Amino acid sequence: MCGILAILGCHDKSVTRRHRCLELSRRLRHRGPDWSGLFVDEASGCYLAHERLAIIDPTSGDQPLFNENKDIVVAVNGEIYNHEALKASMKAHKYHTQSDCEVIAHLYEEIGEEVVEKLDGMFSFVLVDLRDKSFIAARDPLGITPLYLGWGNDGSVWFASEMKALKDDCERFESFPPGHMYSSKQGGLRRYYNPPWFNESIPAEPYDPLILRHAFEKSVIKRLMTDVPFGVLLSGGLDSSLVAAVAQRHLAGSTAAKQWGNKLHSFCVGLEGSPDLKAGREVADYIGTVHKEFHFTVQEGLDAISDVIYHIETYDVTTIRASTPMFLMSRKIKALGVKMVLSGEGSDEIFGGYLYFHKAPNKEEFHKETCRKLKALHLYDCLRANKSTSAWGLEARVPFLDRDFVNLAMSIDPAEKMINKKEGKIEKWIIRKAFDDEENPYLPKHILYRQKEQFSDGVGYSWIDGLKDHAASQVSDQMLANAKHIYPHNTPGTKEGYYYRMIFERCFPQESARLTVPGGPSVACSTAAAIAWDKAWANNLDPSGRAATGVHDSAYEGGEVESSAVSHKEGGEDGLANSKVGDKVQEAIAVA
């Protein structure tokens, strides 16, 4: 990942403004520690800063990037996987670098603002056309990469990868919506990503396991594009295990293997003796990765909370719970010299993997909820995966969120995705079945059909319990009773939520900052769906997967109630739920 900062239409052209731009860009340097670049055009009041994490063409791919005449300039955060195919489809251009992102400047020169619809990858970018002093900014279809939009009191428009670069200088700022482009010519935002599933119409395409398998394999393979050491995050759950198994199987035929060898490196984090550590090791031994386990203690996690909230820029309870071990693991991975990892985010949203989907009353409701989950993913798991890793200059790539794969998977008749005891279908059955190969198995059966467990639980159940206990020692009953007066917007309903909110407000006291975090009845779509499907959810809103009483094998009862929008946003990658899958899973399905 990289960090970008753009100030456009700025009337202050003094040396002080340049220095301020550099100062604000430094706040993003953790995202791109390899090089810093700044382009300034005084005539248009354009400042374009870039903090680079060098993944493709480390030696000459510094940004901002230009077309031949240098009258089109672009700063990009992300990866363009189809850059070679785009180059082949265009007229001949003189490229200054081998960077995958330079193609954006040349393609814009040919087709203008339609460039954004041709890109296959994860990206946020700002492009300035010096010929007419116009500019565009865009974010990838699902918001894998972060981007924020702000406005200065002098009429300037700002863009940044993280809001910490905007919070002190913009009168107002907000999250840039995924799948959108901002055009100075058109005077605002427009959505360019309009797949059939976006309007929540019910699809009817038949399920073909081989087509789904091949589409996912293609998604993983294209993400092996790298010029630096890389690996895979392997918790031992279904999603990360599939990513690792496919990557290991196809690594030998990739360009990456020519530089880094045929052995895939895998990484797992957890408390001593945690479910994920056990499961991750089992999967790694089976598929043959070079596996490394990282341990942390509850106290080490608690000590990191303030740093985590500063980096991930949210007070969402579940996101913080899952981000902390990922944040700690990313630091260890970077210390090994690795700069890119594959990760398993997105599967639960596409296939209805969260445990409350057991209660879905029909395929229409099931599908609409998966659509809503995908639309909100940039506020939760995408935010966590990107910012937890980027805090240490590590890039996370997410094959399940490949544009073509998502469009294919969301076109399948949702009746095939529903949990059905009579047919022996558990959650995410269609992706499990797609990789159930008897002749050349990708994974052992008991791993392929293991129950969903969220990342924040899988790293060790005492992690969440420790968080709650620590928050209770920091927040009094009286403080919580008066929470609505201190935090009238998205009022925290638990001591844990209150504790995170206090830290967030210290880092980001601006009203615009607190509004970037979803909450309240207007956005708690998952909570609304869960309650509509089963009234019991209304009184059991702890975001832990173990709170899914009657569904989760290790379900617990009681505990604090969390009333914020994070309720039932079971963030994070799968982990090991229970090695005794068989009857246990069937009992859970029977209850559902």
Q: Which active-site residues does the annotation give?
A: 2
Does 343 belong to an annotated binding site?
Answer: yes
Q: How far apart are CA 561 and CA 346, in angstroms?
A: 26
| Order of strands, sheet of 180-183, starting from the edge strand that comes earlier in the sequence | 65-66, 72-80, 121-129, 134-139, 180-183, 188-191
Contacts of 436 (CB under 8 A, 6+ apart): 209, 445, 448
Closest CA to 471 of 305, 337, 342: 305
- The single-letter DSSP state of residue 452 is P
- The single-letter DSSP state of residue 205 is B
Q: How far apart are CA 588 and CA 484, in angstroms?
A: 37
Q: How far apart are CA 348 and CA 376, in angstroms?
A: 13
Contacts of 376 (CB under 8 A, 6+ apart): 518, 523, 525
Q: How far apart are CA 223 and CA 400, in angstroms?
A: 11
Question: Could you give the C-alpha distances from 106 to 78, 89, 185, 280, 451, in angstroms and in order?
Answer: 17, 12, 19, 43, 47
Q: How far apart are CA 73 and CA 130, in angstroms?
A: 8
Does 168 belong to an annotated binding site?
Answer: no
Question: Which SS3 state, helix, strand or coil, does residue 389 take?
Answer: helix
Q: Which residue type sits at 193?
A: Y
Burial class (CB in 10 A: 0-12, 13-18, 19+), 489: exposed
Does 45 belong to an annotated binding site?
Answer: no
Burial class (CB in 10 A: 0-12, 13-18, 19+), 72: buried
Q: Does residue 563 come out as left (phi exceeding 0), alpha (psi in the -120 to 50 range) or beta?
A: alpha
Q: How far apart are CA 188 and CA 177, in angstroms?
A: 12
Contacts of 40 (CB under 8 A, 6+ apart): 18, 21, 46, 47, 48
Question: Which SS3 state, helix, strand or coil, does residue 515 take?
Answer: helix
What dihedral angle (degrees, nearest 10) is formed by the CA atoms of 497, 352, 450, 385?
Answer: -50
In 95-133, which ranges are E strands?
A: 121-129
Alpha carbon 573 to its chain centroid, in Å, reads 11
Question: Which SS3 state, helix, strand or coil, does residue 553 take?
Answer: coil
Q: Which letter, b or e, does each residue of 9-30 get, where b requires 16 or more Cβ atoms within 10 Å of its Cβ?
A: bbeeeeeebbebbeebbebbeb
Does 411 belong to an annotated binding site?
Answer: no
| Cβ neighbours of 446 (radius 10 Å) | 12
Give me 580's structure tokens: 């005794």
Does 100 belong to an annotated binding site?
Answer: yes
Q: Sign of the CA dihedral 400, 405, 407, 409?
A: negative
Going by the annotation, the residues of the binding site are 100, 233, 269, 343-344
